[in-house]
Amino acid sequence: MLTVNKTLGVLCRLPKWQIHGFLRSFTFRPGKQFLHKLVLGIETSCDDTAAAVVDETGSILGEAIHSQTEVHLKTGGIIPSVAQQLHRENIEQIVKKTLCASGVTPNELSAVATTVKPGLALSLGVGLEYSLQLVNQYKKPFIPIHHMEAHALTIRITNKVDFPFLVLLVSGGHCLLAIVQGISDFLLLGKSLDMAPGDLLDKVARRLSLIKHPAYSTMSGGKAIEHLAKQGNRLHFDFQHPLHYCRNCNFSFSGLQTAVDKIITQKEKEEGVEKGHILSCAADIAAAVQHTVASHIAKRTHRAILFCQQRGFLTPSNAILVVSGGVASNLYIRRTLEIVTRATNCVLLCPPVKLCTDNGIMIAWNGVERLRAGLGILYNTEGLRYEPK
């Protein structure tokens, strides 16, 4: 009742002409004692077809996801046309399942938010086309979402994090450090000069033929490496740390990939193992690669924290490092980053593992953030395009 009373108070203060719009911006859910905005989020930027309905308090009313990981593992990487076909086959049922789980009809939605950048063109196209059809049919506002911004703000669903904060985004397509100054105000401090850490881990897992190992055959490359590494000794291999001579916050992983590839070829010769079979030292290689990735990421992040503290971007009261993206689900990497945050009096915050990898919740939440701030809400979607880069 408190919320209803508050709302009535706001209504009394509004001029008449605004009252109708104000009421329309809320959704009343019969049987519940509150009024709130509801956003449907749709994600198809890469290999997950995902959707969720989230309200403005961050409550997840319903969600559904269809992962293409197993299909792409079999073909040795994502084939864009295959990803597109799988998104097409699944998007409708994923959205219907989400709405059904939420107990929300399309008419009750305040807006639809969908990833339009960056990602695979063919994959983004499916989500956008479906969403535009939905918003046109139900006359709903549309909120285009930047996938990386959504990863960065996911933490605000579970924790009270005010702007500005430092964010490290590590995924299959990106690696970047940025100061988040507002909902769509990011100051980039560093990024990968070549490949992303998730991409490297996926390639190493493939090169180690982990798909042939029953325990890892259905896991993403990064997750498989994390699990295998637990049985390995990282000290058995020593990989050079990337960019140790560069005093900035950029990342690089392609040199490490070449070095790992070389070692695997050498070990295959030594062990008389044919390419495509699992080496006896696979766990040691996984542990050493994971360690090198973790310490490279930690060193660059350390530099970024020091820079932010020196320049006053991070003060003792808001010294927060948020880490998100698929690779942030890696507990070894999280623990390594914890060493850095402890040493610099920062607080490390990571979304729950389920919210680190791609999902519809983060897209819906970004829609909620934008709706609340009145940022980037489209009532006319004519000419709207997705942007792969």
Q: Which of 43, 63, 149, 202 touches ligand KG4 by CB under 6 A?
A: 202
Q: How far apart are CA 53 and CA 256, in angstroms?
A: 40
Does residue number 90 form part of the binding site for ligand KG4 (CB under 6 A)? Answer: no
Q: Which of residues 325-364 bind ligand KG4 (CB under 6 A)?
A: 325-327, 329-330, 357-358
Answer yes or no: are the C-beta atoms of 210 and 282 closer than 8 Å: yes
Query: What's the CA gap between 128 and 134, in Å, rounded?
Result: 10
Contacts of 54 (CB under 8 A, 6+ apart): 38, 39, 41, 60, 61, 157, 361, 364, 365, 367, 368
Using CB under 5 A as the binding rule, whether residue 358 contacts Zn ion is answered as yes
- Cβ count within 10 A of residue 215: 10
CB of 218 to ligand KG4, least distance (A): 12
Q: Whose Cβ is closer to Zn ion: residue 63's or residue 358's? A: 358
Q: Does 41 bind ligand KG4 (CB under 6 A)?
A: no
- Which amino acid, residue 81? S
Size of the site for ligand KG4 (CB under 6 A): 20
> x/- contact string, 219-258, with ligand KG4 (CB under 6 A)?
-xxxx--x--------------------------------
Residue 220 binds Zn ion (CB under 5 A): no
| Binding flag, residue 190, ligand KG4 (CB under 6 A) | no
Angle at 69 between CA 63 and CA 75, to 5 degrees: 155
Identify any residues that bridge with 51 across adjacent strands, giving them in sequence order: 42, 64
Number of residues in contact with Zn ion under rule CB under 5 A: 2
Segment holding 91, helix H or strand E = helix 80-102
Local structure of 170: helix, strand or coil = strand
For every residue of 276-342, DSSP letters joined together read TS--TTHHHHHHHHHHHHHHHHHHHHHHHHHHHHHHTSS-GGG-EEEEESGGGG-HHHHHHHHHHHH
Least separation, in Å, of the C-beta of 235 and Zn ion? 32
Q: Which does 222 bind (CB under 5 to 8 A by kind): Zn ion, ligand KG4, none?
A: ligand KG4
Output the smallest distance, CB 199 to ligand KG4, in A.
Answer: 6
- Name the residue nearer to Zn ion (CB basis): 171 or 209: 171
Q: How far is the CB of 33 from ligand KG4 (least distance, A)?
A: 36
Question: Which residues inside 310-329 make contact with ligand KG4, applying CB under 6 A?
Answer: 325-327, 329
111-117 and 142-146 strand pairing: parallel
Q: Whole-number minimum distance, CB 120 to Zn ion, in Å?
A: 12
**Residues of the shown chain interacting with ligand KG4 in the complex, contacts defined by CB under 6 A:** 46, 171-173, 198-199, 201-202, 220-223, 226, 325-327, 329-330, 357-358
